[in-house]
Amino acid sequence: MGNRDRRGYPTDVTDEEWVFVVPYLTLCREDAPQRDYPLRAVFNAVRYMAKTGCHWRMLPNDLPPWPVVYQQMRRWIDARCFETIVEDLRILLREYAGRKGQPTAEVLDSRTLQSTPESGARAGYDGAKRRKGSKVHAAVDTLGSVDVHGEFFRNRIHLDLDMR
């Protein structure tokens, strides 16, 4: 059940951060019978793994076992918990800066990521730049926040970005 007297890691979530993220991460009750490890310990393990880049099986022994951490992280990803946290943080930051929660203007940009010979037929061709590769698009609001979901495109403007 993890080491109760473990020393903290720099990646551990602070109390203030935990108060913010726990409503997003709680997919079932904290006292659910299938929960063997505290949710905060599992989240700390995910943060440790993401920051250090270690392999799953190399998580330190004072964190929950890697299969528990991996399975819970997959549940969070499938439930889109992290995307919801980022979206709500973006809205909070905009409102803190005195702006509306949703942007009314965004800057659009695209670039072609050059493909490798191994990618083969999977890579497309950008005729405007005469390069083989995958074209990626980004939308950035006036505060510099990246709109990863393209909500601005879907809600306000109908653009076919591939037909430039």
| Model pLDDT, residue 21 | 95
Model confidence at 8, in pLDDT bands (50, 70, 90)? confident
User: Minimum mean pLDDT among 82-86, 108-112, 118-122, 140-144: which range?
Assistant: 118-122
| Model pLDDT, residue 65 | 95
Taking the complete model, does pTM exceed 0.85, yes or no? no
Model confidence at 90, in pLDDT bands (50, 70, 90)? confident
Average pLDDT of the segment spanning 26-37? 80
Q: What is the 3-state secondary structure (H, E, C) of the chain?
A: CCCCCCCCCCCCCCHHHHHHHHHHHCCCCCCCCCCCCCHHHHHHHHHHHHHHCCCHHHCCCCCCCHHHHHHHHHHHHHCCHHHHHHHHHHHHHHHHCCCCCCCCCEEEEEEEEECCHHHHHHCEEECCCCEEEEEEEEEEECCCCECCCCHHHHHHCCCCHHHC
| Model pLDDT, residue 3 | 54
